[in-house]
Amino acid sequence: MKIVLFCYLPYAFAMLKPLQDEAISRGFTVLWFVPEGIIDNFPYTNSPHTTAIEHLINFKADALLVPGNEVPHFLRGIKVQISHGLAGEKSDHFRIREYFDLYLTQGPYFTDKFVALSKIHKDFEVAQTGWCKLDKLFLKDNTTQKTKAKLLSKHKARHIVLYAPTFSPSLTSTIKLLETIDRLADTDDIVVVIKFHDLMDKETIDKYIKLQNKNIVISKEKDISQLLLLADIMISDTSSVLYEFMLLDKPVVTLDNISQNILWQNLTDKSLVYKAVLDILNGDDKFSRQPIIEQYHPYTDGKSARRMIDAVVDYKHRFGVPTKRKIPWHRKLKIWKLFGTLKW
């Protein structure tokens, strides 16, 4: 079986790596697609990869695994949407864009909605598999505690607060919480680690750098997974990463989250965030994460990548490799503009 890992943005590197490992373990052939604009950040340069759509045309894949919303419709292969986040409240999360043959879902909350949509559109399948990006969160890693102890010792702290805001100008809390983050880092026993989204604007990042607070650490890691394991509490807004953190049964405080099903402490007054974080660190945590765990990602075995590849193999066994799909002309035009290859 020939598989393309269709990686359009840097945050997808960590999502797709477990699928590469699983596919190779089965003897499958794997090829990464990484656009020229992000190839310098590609961490797996020893793996077969290309920046050229023409190479993918000649590769003639059996399946393309896509943690995004667009994929060239004219490429051979089962188009598989593997999702790029857990924020189902975002307006476009369940938008059907006609490119995909198979949607792989993380848990019942997502599965039920995509199954309902499949009955309307009647041109794609849905399989609940869990999400491969989270596999490493549930696999034991002896280095995590050592890394945490080293970070706490360096900053003479007892607690790690992770600030992980979204980049969207209409949803981000970065400007509103600038002073709060600085104040928390000035508090005894706290070190604040900030993980900005790959698309966060430089001007905003520079504002945090200019704080020059010795207890603020701006992480350069592409993969947030280890930071989730290290932190005791997360501050966020409407970033989907907050769900990943809660799956570890850890507390979250958000500012102006737009979800209609909030099961954590969400505040609409930025002045209350500082006290809320300190209260939780002092043991006043009133929220249960169990409903989120059960609905969003009930798998804790670290084997979602295996289930995802199984689902792709099963699709191919039942339906073969699709030769064509009905794609509206405006979708085709968008693909041409994105990838620069005019094929209808």
Q: Which of 57-71, 106-120, 123-137, 325-339 has the lowest mean pLDDT?
A: 325-339
What letter would DSSP give residue 135?
G
**210-220, pLDDT tens digit by residue?**
999 999 999 98
Question: What is the rounded CA–CA span in Å between residue 319 and residue 310?
Answer: 14
Q: What six digits make up the tokens of 307?
A: 């289930």
Within its chain, how far is the Cα of 47 from the centroid?
A: 22
Determine the Cα–Cα distance for residues 331 and 4; give it in Å rounded to an integer: 21
Chain centroid, CA 141 distance in Å: 20
pTM assigned to the model: 0.84
Distance CA 188, CA 275 (A): 14
pLDDT in tens, 225-244: 899 999 999 999 988 899 99
Task: Indicate the pLDDT class of residue 223, thresholds 50, 70 and 90.
Answer: confident
What the chain holds in terms of domains, given with CATH numbers, is 2-136+302-339 (3.40.50.2000), 140-296 (3.40.50.12580)
HSE-up of residue 6 (Cα within 13 Å, Cβ side): 31
Cα 191 to chain center, whole Å?
Answer: 24
Distance CA 58, CA 321 (A): 16
d(CA 109, CA 261): 11
Backbone φ, ψ for residue 6 (5° rounding) = -90, 95
- The encoded tokens of residue 309 equal 């590849």
> Helices marked H in the chain — which ranges?
12-25, 53-59, 108-121, 143-155, 178-185, 202-209, 225-230, 241-246, 273-281, 290-296, 304-319, 329-339
Angular region, 66: left φ>0, alpha ψ -120 to 50, beta rest: beta
Using the 8-state DSSP alphabet, how is residue 76 labeled?
S
Mean pLDDT of the chain: 92
d(C-alpha 278, C-alpha 241), whole Å = 21
pLDDT digits (tens, 9 = 90+) for 80-118: 999 877 876 666 778 888 899 999 999 999 999 999 999
255 has a pLDDT exceeding 90: yes
Helix (H) or strand (E) holding 29: strand 29-33
- pLDDT 10s digits, 162-188: 999 999 889 999 999 999 999 999 998
Chain centroid offset of residue 46 CA: 23
- How far apart CA 163 and CA 195 sit, in angstroms, is 6
Find, among 279, 271, 68, 85, the residue nearest to 164 by Cα.
Answer: 85
Nearest to 219 by CA among 247, 246, 195: 195
Distances (CA, A) of 243 to 183, 231, 253, 275: 25, 14, 12, 22
Helix (H, G, I), strand (E, B) or coil at 246: helix
Where b means 16+ CB within 10 Å and e means fewer, 233-258 reads bbbbbbbbbbbbbbbbebbbbbbebe
List the single range of 163-172, 184-193, 306-315, 331-340 with lowest mean pLDDT: 331-340
